[in-house]
Chains A and B, each alone.
Chain A
Amino acid sequence: MGSTVATRRPAAAEHLPEGSPPGSGPGGPAAPRRGHRDNLAGYLFMSPWITGFLLLTAGPMAASLYFAFTDYNLFDAPRWVGLGNFTEMFADARWRHSVSVTLWYVIIGTPLKLAAALGVALLLSQQRRGQAFYRAAFYAPSLIGASVSIAIVWKAIFSDDAIVDRVQRGLFGMDVGGWIGDPDWIIYSLVALTVWQFGAPMVIFLAGLKQVPRSLYEAAEVDGAGPLRRFWNITLPMISPVLFFNVLLETIHSFQIFGSAYILGGAGGTCGPADATLVYTCYLYVQGFENSRMGLASAMAWMLLLAVGLVTAVLFWSQKRWVHYEEASR
């Protein structure tokens, strides 16, 4: 608000009639000049960001929006095809497959990850010895988890005759082999990898849990409420804003999964055996960089943006029903 006022001032000063006495401007004598200088300084300080935004975000986005309606192979000039890319996309069985793989991953992976995060946050919110160590230990995977090396390690763990396979056979007598080569199982190793990286939502949950007033629990205990009841009727409603935030963030995050799926799946035109880990961005990458179809890839990217936008809108709409803000902040 303040900046808008400041921007208007110099303009107003310019419209003052010539020779009007100093100090008759709306902002007092020195105000117009200082405002101008403030703005300049402000823009100057912002310029690296503005430049970066225009060159690296807004520009490419505009270009990509244009390419989405063209046939563009990077070499020849883009050829306008209207909605051609979109109709091709919907008709492509492999594209529909990538959509279903991604949706499956989001629907299964996200709740599991959030449940793990909340569960561990509940344990860690209690006062006990070595608490700082445990928090750090549980948070660590999400710091390193996005790296390529972890995806490679993961691949090794879930291969034939590796740890997972041996445990399966030794403890449960299940002879299903490693998960990596199996089109029905490999997606679970991907889900396991994302669940393992629950550190970031966990930290947010921890902060949320700290905010719940102890007096509420004490009152409930006096009334004879057990731990489950206290969790259901006090903890959950009280942290629902934090829960909403995490659901939103993790859902968006899950839609954009790429690195781990690409590496776990073996890369190179195939994303997992029989395209089992062909998540949306993986297919987008294949179309763009392997098949040189940048127009189609751009159209796919905008489709993803639309889908994520839609899901976000639905989540925001649904929050009225289950997210409770304190009266004061309403």
Chain B
Amino acid sequence: MPTSGSVDRRGLLKIAGGSLAALGLTAAGCGSGSGSGDGTVTIRYAWWGSDDRAKRINETIALFEKKYPKIKVKTDFQPYLDFWKKFNTQASGGNPPDVFQNAIGFLRKYDAKNVLLDLNAQVKAGHLSMDGFRAGLETFGEVDGKLLGVPVGSNSMALVIDEKVFRKAGVSPKPGWTWDDFDAALAKIRDTTGRAGDSGGYGVMYLYDLYLRQHGKAFFTTDALGFTEADLKEWWTKGYAGVKSGLYSDPKKVAQVRPKSALAAEIAGCEFTWDNFTVRYTSEGKSEYGLAPIPTTDGKKTGQYLGSLMLSGSKRTKHPKEVAQFIDFMVHDPEVAKIMGYDRGVPATVAQNEAFQPTDQVGKDIAAYEKQLVDTGVLEPITPHPAGADVAESAFLRLAEELALGTRSVDDAVKQFFTESKTAIGF
């Protein structure tokens, strides 16, 4: 025993030495990864989305790393809400990802907090091209002259419908239909199919924004809300009446099926959301899903604009050049578009848009829908989203639900929304 013990100890020492050496090697490997060494640089790329998007994104990254062998990309993804919690914590700790997916509602917020990289310098240096974007999209990520985000795709608000239900009810929405037509359609769906028409548009901030824009207002101004308490009271009074009369889905049922959408769960005939979400509904539900135009007030104006997901860099990145090269590749390379499809909306650049021709029905519908928006000329410039817009959005959704459930009166919900928005936006 004693002998074997000492041998063991020596053996252990050897193993320890070996592993220390190995550690040293790995450390060296790491060092060269993030620093210079052999010139290889590692950048961190964070985004939100589903597993399906993860597969596509990994493919695009493999392509990127093949083309730029000196740049390695580490990814990190979460669902939308968790993404922002993690990002917020990382960014405040001075350790945000080098490049990340971004959206309009967060541009001013994180610009005010000095988190976003102004990509203009990289454009000047020739690492990132802002040419060849589809109409209006090249300036989408600009705030006060700074280029804070580069659009990867465009989408627009739409009414996603369950085609079978609409056919059965004999409703066929046409461009230019009015809110009265829409309400009549919901009633028809309720009466003929026994299913509520809409899943709860009264709580969708982006839809209310369109409605306000049809009336010459907007949800946000640069530093406040763009509507009055009386405006919102009118919108929510109508919404609540719709819930009571069964035009809108029972909010209890909507809460039950979450995170699945009410439309895919067959408790609503249609739902207002972004047009590229049709992809999601098709994989979630059993029916056929199509796109219908946004109802109007005057038969013409829908208030629509192109929204977009963007890629942004972090101001604290040690590799702004590589970040710019990465973004450039992701928005211009035609192969990337073929892999991503319409997952993040219609590709933002002309080259990518031409490279991907959808062959499936859903993709074709989205392409046709966005083409029709351009052709009918309803698109308008987007209105600003002040810092705090994200908090106001979640308050809007929550209070609309409370009101629909009857735990809060319309007056009370409106008052509470204005109080919370004032705190969040600071006006």
Binding site for B on A (CB under 8 A): 73-76, 93-94, 159-160, 177-178, 180-183, 266-270, 273-276, 289-292
State the main secondary structure of chain A at its contact with B. loop
Question: Which of these, A182, A270, A289, A290, contacts B401 with CB under 8 Å?
Answer: A270
A68 to chain B minimum Cβ distance, whole angstroms, is 18
User: Which residues from chain B sit less than 8 Å from chain A, CB to CB?
Assistant: 81, 84-85, 88-89, 91-92, 113-115, 251-259, 391, 394-395, 397-398, 401-402, 405, 407-408, 416, 424
List of B residues within 8 angstroms of A266 by Cβ: 255, 258-259
Inter-chain CA distance A159–B259, complex, in Å, is 13
Contact A274 B405 (CB under 8 A): yes
Q: How far is the CA of A290 from the CA of B391 in the complex (A)?
A: 8
Tell me if A273 and B113 are in contact (CB < 8 A).
no
From A94, A160, A292, residue with most partner B Cβ within 10 Å: A292
Tell me the bound Cα distance from A75 to B258 in angstroms. Answer: 33
Q: Cβ of B398 and Cβ of A180 under 8 Å apart?
A: no
28 contacts between A and B (CB under 8 A): A73-B113, A74-B88, A74-B91, A75-B113, A93-B416, A94-B416, A159-B257, A160-B253, A177-B253, A177-B256, A180-B256, A183-B405, A183-B407, A266-B255, A266-B258, A266-B259, A269-B395, A270-B394, A273-B251, A273-B401, A274-B401, A274-B405, A274-B408, A275-B402, A275-B407, A289-B85, A289-B89, A290-B81
CB-nearest residue of chain A relative to B393?
A: A269
Instruction: Kindly list chain A residues whose C-beta atoms are within 8 Å of the C-beta of B91.
Output: 74-75
B99 to chain A, nearest CB (A): 19
* Number of A-B residue pairs at CB separation under 8 A: 73
Task: State whether B92 touches A74 (Cβ < 8 A).
Answer: yes
- Nearest CB in chain A: distance from B56 CB, A: 24
- A181: chain B residues at CB < 8 Å are 251-256
Supplied contacts A160-B257, A276-B407, 5 more A-B pairs, CB within 8 Å: A76-B113, A93-B416, A181-B254, A181-B255, A291-B391
Q: Which residue of A lies closest to B109 (CB)?
A: A292
Q: Once the chains bind, are A75 and B115 in contact (CB under 8 Å)?
A: yes
Distance of B207 from chain A, by nearest CB (Å): 18
Q: Provide the bound-state CA to CA distance between A292 and B256, in Å.
A: 28
- Interchain CB contact under 8 A, A290 and B394: yes
Q: In the bound complex, what is the Cα–Cα distance between A153 and B407 (angstroms)?
A: 27
Quick check: B81 and A160 within 8 Å, CB to CB? no
Complex CA distance for A291 and B388, rounded to whole angstroms: 8
Question: In the bound complex, what is the Cα–Cα distance between A74 and B85 (angstroms)?
Answer: 12
Closest chain A residue, CB of each to CB of B250? A181
**Given A74-B88, A291-B424, A180 contacting B113 (CB threshold 8 A):** no
Partner of A269, one of B88, B255, B394, B405: B394
Chain B residue with Cβ nearest A186: B255
Q: Once bound together, how far apart are the Cα atoms of A301 and B424, in whole Å?
A: 20
The 7 A-B residue pairs with the shortest CB-CB distance, nearest first, are A74-B92, A181-B256, A269-B394, A181-B255, A181-B252, A75-B113, A274-B407
